[in-house]
C-alpha cells in the first residue's frame, strides 16, 4: 500500500511540559544546577499550570487512544497530572535536543578549556552546529520525522496526546508547516516557542491538491494556553 494513502492519527494533541526548575533559571544557572536537564522537575507554578491545563485537556479529550511523553522528569510529571488514570507511554524520540558540553559547562569554562568549540560554534551557526557530545538541530529534525512516521503507522485514525518540549515542537511545526530554515531559526533565536502547558492540535485531512493525507492546524482554534490569566 502506498504509505501516502495511510491516514495520520485523526487528532494529534501536543502539550508542552509545564514550567520546570530549568525554566525559572538562566542558562548559566542551569549549567551549575546539580542535576541533568532530563531530571528537572516541575516548579510549584508548573504543577498548577499542569492542573489547570489538565482540566481543559480532559474536557476536550477525556479518553485519548494513547498518551505519549519523553523520558524527561518534567514531561512525566506533566502527563501524570493531566491523565492520572491512563497508561502513559514513553518514547525516546521525543527527547529535547542534547546540548552536549553546553548542558553543564559555562561559557567561561568552555572558552578556557575548549576555545576551539567556541570558534566552531560561531563559524557553523545555530542551525548546523553540533556541540561535542550533543546534537544539532537537523539531528532532532530526523527524530521528529521518525516520530511522525511512527504515529502514522501505529495510530492511524486514532487520537493521541503527546507531552513534549519546546524546541522539539518547534521543529515539528517546521516540518508540518513546511517552514524554511530561515523562518525556523528566526523563531528559534527569538524564543518564539509554544507556552508551557499549552495545547497545540493537529487534524488529519485529505488533501485533494496533493493527493495524500496531511496534518492541518488552525491557529485561531487549535492553540490554547488554559492557565493564562489564572496564575
In the predicted structure, residue 69 carries a pLDDT above the cut 90? yes
pTM (2 d.p.): 0.94
Q: How confident is the model at residue 206 (pLDDT cuts 50, 70, 90)?
A: very high
Residue 214: strand, helix, or coil:
strand
Closest C-alpha among 156, 186, 158 to residue 174: 186
Give how far Cα 180 sits from Cα of 54, 124, 183, Å: 33, 18, 6
The pLDDT value recorded for residue 103 is: 82
Which pLDDT does position 30 carry in this prediction? 64
List the domain boundaries for the chain. 3-27+41-97+135-224, 99-134
Rounded mean pLDDT of the chain?
94
Is residue 42 classed exposed, middle or buried when 0-12, 13-18 and 19+ CB atoms within 10 A define those classes? buried
Q: Work out the average pLDDT over 178-187.
A: 95
Residue 88 binned pLDDT confidence (cut-offs 50, 70, 90): very high
What backbone phi and psi angles, to 5 degrees, belong to 200?
Answer: -125, 120
CA gap 222, 78 in Å, rounded? 20
List all residues 6 or more positions away from 200 whose beta carbon is below 8 Å from its beta carbon.
13, 14, 15, 16, 169, 194, 217, 222, 223
pLDDT of res. 61: 98
* Domain 3-27+41-97+135-224: assigned CATH number: 3.40.50.1240
Amino acid at each position: 500500500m502506498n504509505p501516502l494513502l495511510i491516514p495520520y492519527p485523526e487528532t494529534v494533541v501536543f502539550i508542552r511540559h509545564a514550567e520546570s526548575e530549568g525554566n525559572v533559571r538562566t542558562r548559566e544557572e542551569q549549567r551549575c544546577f546539580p542535576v541533568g536537564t532530563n531530571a528537572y522537575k516541575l516548579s510549584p507554578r508548573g504543577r498548577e499550570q499542569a492542573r489547570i491545563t489538565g482540566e481543559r485537556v480532559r474536557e476536550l479529550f477525556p479518553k485519548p487512544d494513547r498518551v505519549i511523553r519523553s523520558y524527561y522528569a518534567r514531561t512525566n510529571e506533566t502527563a501524570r497530572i493531566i491523565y492520572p488514570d491512563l497508561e502513559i507511554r514513553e518514547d525516546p524520540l521525543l527527547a529535547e535536543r542534547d546540548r552536549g558540553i553546553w548542558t553543564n559547562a559555562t561559557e567561561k569554562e568552555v572558552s578556557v578549556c575548549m576555545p576551539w568549540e567556541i570558534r566552531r560554534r560561531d563559524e557553523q551557526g545555530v542551525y548546523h552546529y553540533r556541540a561535542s557530545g550533543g546534537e544539532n538541530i537537523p539531528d532532532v529534525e530526523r527524530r521528529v520525522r521518525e516520530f511522525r512516521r511512527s504515529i502514522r503507522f501505529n495510530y492511524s485514525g486514532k487520537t493521541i496526546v503527546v507531552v513534549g518540549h519546546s524546541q522539539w515542537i518547534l521543529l515539528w511545526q517546521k516540518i508540518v508547516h513546511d517552514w524554511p530554515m530561515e523562518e525556523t531559526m528566526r523563531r528559534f533565536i527569538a524564543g518564539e516557542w509554544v507556552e508551557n502547558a499549552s495545547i497545540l492540535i493537529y487534524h488529519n485531512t485529505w488533501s485533494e491538491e496533493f493527493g495524500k493525507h496531511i496534518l492541518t492546524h488552525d491557529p485561531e482554534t487549535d492553540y490554547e494556553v488554559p492557565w493564562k490569566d489564572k496564575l
